[in-house]
Amino acid sequence: MDKSIQVTSSLQDYLEVILNLSQEDGVARVTDIASSLNIAKASVSQALSVLKKQGLIQQTHYGPVMLTAKGKEYARKIRYRHRVIRFFLIEVLGVSAGIAERDACLLEHELSSQTFECLIEFLEEREITPPFHREAFQGEEDS
């Protein structure tokens, strides 16, 4: 992750949701973000203001929310960490999907880069390849 960007775990969740909504629905709206995160629209607006100041999103007044190139790169890294951790919990440890999803959300923010890289190495050494291999995921098409 870019060390010059200081994004809290909560703001990382916003970036991940914006990326997912943009790719699923073609657009991310404040209402959809609030619904996805199960929070009030006013809270979303405050968080978006912070993300906008950091150059991670763009939004016209009451318009859709769009990730900047820097925001999209950051969001993809967050989502990649989330997916790898979730995959590991389900496929290697046998954790149920619901619990793995919740735990992956928590771990993606707290796991150090070193530990995450060791997790990747662990999976690669055992030829346990997630269905979203690292290079293919990071180079995915913009949607």
Which tens digit of pLDDT belongs to each residue from 70-88? 999 999 999 999 999 999 9
Average pLDDT, integer, range 100-118? 94
> Which of these ranges, 15-24, 59-68, 111-120, 129-138, has the smallest mean pLDDT?
129-138
The pTM (predicted TM-score) of the whole model is 0.84
DSSP state of 71: H
Q: Does domain 9-72 have CATH number 1.10.10.10?
A: yes
Average pLDDT, integer, range 32-58? 96
Question: CA–CA distance from 94 to each of 5, 48, 64, 84 (Å)?
Answer: 35, 36, 39, 14
Is residue 127 classed as helix, strand or coil in its secondary structure?
coil
| Cα dihedral 37, 10, 24, 82 in deg (nearest 10) | -120
Q: Which residue ranges make up each domain of the chain? A: 9-72, 79-129
pLDDT tens-digit readout, 50-75: 999 999 999 988 899 999 999 999 99
Q: Note whether 28 and 65 are within 8 A (CB).
A: yes
Give the CATH number of domain 79-129; options: 1.10.60.10, 1.10.580.10, 3.40.50.1820, 1.10.3720.10.
Answer: 1.10.60.10
